[in-house]
Homo-oligomer: A and B are copies of this chain.
Amino acid sequence: MDLYSGHINNLINELAALPGIGSKSAQRLAFYIIGMSPARVKKLADALVTAKENVHYCQCCQNLTDTEICPICSNPKRDRSTIMVVENPRDLAAYERTGKYEGLYHVLHGAISPMLGIGPADIKLKELMERLRDDEVKEVIVATNSSLEGETTAMYISKLIKPTGVRVTRIASGVPVGGDLEYIDEVTLLRALEGRQEL
C-alpha cells in the first residue's frame, strides 16, 4: 500500500527528482508545501514556469538572462578587454560577489570531461572564439574549477587561444584564505608551493 495519496506521492516524486533533494527532504518539502497558503503555492509554481519561459542565454557571454544581452555585457563601465571564462552562472556570481572584477565573462555551461563524454563541442567554446575576433579583447582569464575537468578545459582553451595572440591566464590555485595547512590536501599544498610568489 502506498503510504501517501496519489497527489502527495506525485509531488514527492517530482521534488525528489531535483538535485540534492533526497526522498526524506522531498517528503518534508511536500508536507510543508501542502501546509502553505494556496496563494504562496501558486506564486512558487508561477516562479518556476515564468523563470523557465523567460530566461535564456545572453547572446554575448552565454550567462542566463531575461534580456537579449545581459546586464554585465551591456554595462558600459565594464572593461571590455578582459574576459573571464567560468564553467557556470554560479561561478560567475561568485566572482561578481567579490565586487572587484571589472571585466566581462564567458560562461561555458560545463567543462570538458572525456569520462562523461563531454567534448569541446558540448560547451560554449565556439561562442568564446567568436568573441575573440573582436580586437578589443586582450586577455582571457580561465577561471574553470580546480578539478580534473576544469584543468582539462583550461589546457584546451589555452591551446586554442594562444595562436590568436590574445593573452591567456589561469586563476591561482593554492591554500584558501583562512585555511589551516594541517587540514589541506597534499595536491593543494604542492600547488601552493609551486605558485609561491616573492614577498
A79 within 8 A of B: no
A93 to B8, CA, bound (A): 12
The answer to whether the Cβ of A3 comes within 8 Å of any Cβ in the partner chain is: yes
B55 and A8 form a contact (CB under 8 A): yes
Q: Enumerate A44-87 residues with CB–CB distance to B below 8 Å.
A: 44-55, 64-67, 70-71
For residue A102, give the distance in angstroms from its CB to the closest CB of chain B: 12
Specify which of B2, B25, B51, B65 is in contact with A11 (CB 8 Å cutoff): B51
Interface centre among A1, A6, A36, A52 (most CB of B within 10 A): A52
Taken together as a complex, chains A and B put the C-alpha atoms of A7 and B49 apart, in Å, by 10
Q: Are A97 and B3 in contact (CB under 8 A)?
A: yes
A-B pairs with beta carbons under 8 Å apart, 27 shown: A3-B93, A3-B96, A5-B70, A5-B71, A8-B64, A10-B47, A10-B51, A11-B50, A11-B51, A14-B43, A14-B48, A15-B44, A15-B47, A19-B32, A20-B25, A20-B28, A27-B90, A27-B93, A33-B48, A33-B51, A33-B52, A34-B55, A36-B52, A42-B49, A44-B48, A45-B46, A45-B49
